[in-house]
A = this chain, B = another copy of it.
Amino acid sequence: MAMMPQTEVMLLLDRIARLHAARRRAVTLTDAQCATLEYLARANRFSRSPSVIADYLATTRGTASQTLKSLAEKGLITEEATEGDRRQRRYALTEGGRTLVEGWLASTAKAETAEAVQAARTLLRSLIASAGGKSFGMCRDCRHHSIGPGGTRTCGLLQITLALEEAGQLCHEFAEAG
């Protein structure tokens, strides 16, 4: 009757997530809205569209669209101008939105250790592998990221030059480095 050791982490994480959601509820925003804002604060310019957000949040495009709409009505995000594919829309935090997210994140858990980050990444990877999700890693850890002469960062997949700050942002196209 002893608990199977394989289940411990998921049970702990479940509780963590619920406490986290309860904390968020104390703010004016819902859990999905908070998660969306936090994602937008970290994602690069190629990964801030409704479809990608839906992937990240493990929901549908319809729901993601609604969440974005509500955030836009609150003045926390805006639609950015985009080049290229004119079907796509890209959202970004407004000044107010960014201030809110930064303040919010600053007040969350402080128990950040290298081991904790590593453990969380490992878990996420295994869950993604069995659930078929996308990994959303950072450019600097991606297979397609390379640093040329003069320190120029480029994405080999999209064939573009990356700004320095973009190297630490999340990307929809992330691929594990070989």
Contacts and interface: CB of A to CB of B under 8 A. Distances in A.
Interface of A: 1-23, 35, 38-39, 41-42, 56-59, 102, 105-106, 108-113, 115-128, 130-131, 133, 136, 165, 168
A161 B22 CA distance: 35
A106 B10 CA distance: 11
A93 to B, nearest CB: 11
B131 A19 contact: yes
A59 B7 CA distance: 23
B4 A111 contact: no
Q: Top 9 nearest A-B pairs by Cβ distance?
A: A17-B17, A111-B126, A119-B119, A22-B58, A12-B120, A116-B119, A7-B105, A18-B58, A1-B165
Nearest to A136: B15
A105 B4 contact: yes
A127 B2 contact: no
B14 A35 contact: yes
Contacts of A124: 12, 15-16, 19
A17 B14 contact: yes
A21 B123 contact: no
A102 B7 CA distance: 10
Given A19-B58, A109-B126, 4 more contacts: A6-B112, A12-B123, A17-B17, A18-B58
A57 B18 contact: yes
7 contacts: A6-B112, A8-B117, A11-B39, A13-B120, A16-B120, A109-B127, A115-B115
Contacts of A22: 58-59, 131
